[in-house]
Amino acid sequence: GVTAGDIAALEVKVCGTPELRPKWFKDGNELASGNKYKISFSRMISSLNVLSLSDCGVYKCKAVNKAGSSATTASLVVKEPPSFVVPPQPVEAMPGSNVTFSAMVKGSTPLKLKWFRGAKEILAGQGCDFSLKDNQVILELFNVDRSQAGELNYGTSLKHHVGLCLSEPAAFSKKLKDVSVEKGKPLTLECTYTGTPKITMNWYKDGQQIFASYKYNITMTESSCILECLSTDDKEAAGKYSCEVSNDAGRDACEAAVSILEPAYFAESLEPMEVTAGDAVCLKCQVAGTPEIKVSWYKADGKVRSSPTCKLEYSKGVACLKLSKATKADIGEYTCKAENRIGSASSTCRLNAKTPPSFPKKITSLQQTEGQPVRFECRVAGTSPIEVSWLKDGEPVREGDEFSTLYDDNTATLLISRSEMKHSGEYACVATNSVGSASCRAKHPPVFDRKLSPKEVTVGDSIELECHMTGSAPIKVTWSKDHKDIRGGGNYKISCVNNMPHLTVLKADKANTGKYFCHASNDMGKDSCSSDITVKGISARAPLLSSLPSLL
């Protein structure tokens, strides 16, 4: 039932396969939205607002889809609160006479009648009688006297199960209390009230009205107001909450402060550090949570305590462990533990000694076809920052059209855009940091870039054979003639200076005619070059006679 003058809201939750088409009927007649009715369907809730409660009736909601239909009905009863049609009128009477007060009332039955003199209820039998018949209210006072004269303010109050005509202002009988709740735990605020309906309830947080949503459930019973905070996972749930109730006779409000209790946690964790002996060290982290928070430090060998060389500080949420001069004994894993009455957390980092550069992955040696691009790559480890440079045959490689270098994510790269014979050689990557340096090299097989040339000599002359090679040292050089090894000594002299192998045949004869080979080899490969040598004999000449001196 609803009270006359109010808007009746009927809601039905509909389930089924779309598309659903709810329809509303009153006493068998289909309804449409207009001046008297407002029909809506949203989120599977079909609603009917009866805007003008002119009569009662049976309302039906019928939902239809392709699979069938379903209907539900409800009766709407309009209840009228009690009211006076004709109020009691003042009466003048003689002492000792009987006085009758009468009034006409209306309202939904049953009606309950009460009479009052001021604020005190008049009970039947105490020199009076009263009745209610056919909506006429009668109070009879017998043998009145002067004590009942004057501004006695006789009145009536009609009571109906929907409310009293004499309204009681809305007021809280049990108010909200301040509360603290752990982060993530449910939070419910509840207060109780009294007062004559209709009572309106509103909730506020920090002065802003809040409504039922994914954050809040709001419930109102006949005597209580309940607010459920559905999420206390963040500090936004904390604040000042207030509840307000009101009716036509008055209003009341109460409030409470809500605190969210957080376990200790690390807003900023410890970061690993690398130090050299004698460095000052500060391990620092940011702690948060509900006070009071206790901070302690630990190392593998137990709890860390303050000493002349180790200071432990905690101020404004920042915890620090300070070492005046780091030693080898200070190297290791450190843990900071923060705890409060809600919970605890810890953060761990490692204090390492700075390390010189090293090459966990060295340069790979390459054999590449002339004209193709070449890429050298190696992985570098060690304490940052690390500076990387490249060398070719001991000389710095300069970036330009031929070479480009890159150092990213601990990987050093040297690129040769287009390889040529002149690019053959030994390449080295050099890595340097504050505590040392290291290098690794890429080796190349030997290649003769200037080969032996054919020669013709005369018997008795010397033979000089020379060529030039490139490649990674050490390079082994050997000579042969017609596939037979030549060893230094006797008629042969062998040398190699600045990658230039040299063979000298000190005194040639025809037996030295043939094909000479120079062989070069190293760990990466080998190469050879050859030359044809021809030794010619001496041409025959007529004997020459010189004249003898005269003896005359």
The values of phi and psi at residue 422, to 5°, are: -70, -15
3-state SS, residue 474:
coil
Please state the pTM of the whole predicted model.
Answer: 0.42
User: How crowded is the C-beta side of 472, counted as CA atoms within 13 Å?
Assistant: 18
pLDDT of 50 strictly over 70: yes
- Given pLDDT bands bounded at 50, 70 and 90, which one contains residue 8? confident
Is residue 192 packed enough to be buried (19+ CB in 10 Å), middle (13-18) or exposed (0-12)? Answer: middle
**6-15, 63-72, 252-261: the lowest-pLDDT one:** 6-15
Instruction: Report the share of the chain in percent with pLDDT over 70.
Output: 88
Instruction: Sort residue 493 into left (φ over 0), alpha (ψ -120 to 50) or beta.
Output: beta
- Given pLDDT bands bounded at 50, 70 and 90, which one contains residue 157? very low
Instruction: Answer with the residue of higher pLDDT: 110 or 311.
Output: 311
Contact between 539 and 506 (Cβ < 8 Å): no
Instruction: Answer with the residue of higher pLDDT: 415 or 122.
Output: 415
Closest to 492 (Cα-Cα) out of 519, 466, 464, 515? 464
Q: Tokens 């490692």 — which residue?
A: 350
pLDDT of 81 strictly over 80: no
**Domains contained in the chain, CATH given:** 2-79 (2.60.40.10), 83-164 (2.60.40.10), 171-261 (2.60.40.10), 265-349 (2.60.40.10), 358-442 (2.60.40.10), 447-536 (2.60.40.10)
> What sign has the CA pseudo-torsion 511, 517, 521, 525?
negative
Q: Which pLDDT tens digit goes with each residue over 236-287? A: 889 999 999 999 878 999 999 999 899 999 999 999 998 888 889 999 999 9
Contact between 59 and 74 (Cβ < 8 Å): yes
Q: Which pLDDT tens digit goes with each residue over 117-145? A: 666 777 777 788 878 787 788 878 887 76
CA 190 to chain CA mean position, Å: 35
Q: Which pLDDT tens digit goes with each residue over 352-409? A: 988 889 999 988 766 667 788 888 899 999 888 999 999 988 899 988 888 999 999 9
Question: In angstroms, rounded to a whole number, what is the distance separating the alpha carbons of residues 301 and 330?
Answer: 11
Instruction: Answer with the residue of higher pLDDT: 35 or 503.
Output: 503
pLDDT of 67 strictly over 70: yes
The values of phi and psi at residue 147, to 5°, are: -65, -20
The token pair at 66 is 């392709």
**92-101, 197-206, 285-294, 336-345: the lowest-pLDDT one:** 92-101
Is the omega angle on the peptide bond into residue 308 within 30 degrees of 0, that is, cis? Answer: no
The values of phi and psi at residue 236, to 5°, are: -60, -25
pLDDT at 394: 87
Cβ-based neighbour number of residue 313 at 10 Å: 13
pLDDT at 112: 74
- Given pLDDT bands bounded at 50, 70 and 90, which one contains residue 16? confident
pLDDT at 467: 96
Question: In angstroms, rounded to a whole number, what is the distance separating the alpha carbons of residues 149 and 462?
Answer: 164
The token pair at 140 is 């009879």
Average pLDDT over residues 423-448: 87
Residues forming beta bridges with residue 403, ordered by sequence position: 416
Mean pLDDT over all residues of the chain? 84
Average pLDDT over residues 150-175: 55
Q: How far is CA 510 from CA 406, 421, 458, in A?
A: 59, 37, 9
pLDDT at 543: 54
pLDDT at 53: 56
Q: Which pLDDT tens digit goes with each residue over 448-493? A: 999 999 999 999 999 999 999 988 788 999 999 998 999 988 999 9
pLDDT at 196: 81
Average pLDDT over residues 508-519: 94
- Given pLDDT bands bounded at 50, 70 and 90, which one contains residue 21? confident
pLDDT at 2: 60
> What sign has the CA pseudo-torsion 292, 298, 302, 304?
negative
Average pLDDT over residues 419-430: 84
Question: In angstroms, rounded to a whole number, what is the distance separating the alpha carbons of residues 95 and 145?
Answer: 5
Contact between 37 and 49 (Cβ < 8 Å): yes
Most confident of 7-16, 197-206, 441-450: 197-206
Calculate ∠ Cα 205-207-211, nearest 5°.
50
Q: Which pLDDT tens digit goes with each residue over 531-545? A: 999 999 875 454 555
pLDDT of 312 strictly over 50: yes
Question: In angstroms, rounded to a whole number, what is the distance separating the alpha carbons of residues 492 and 487?
Answer: 7
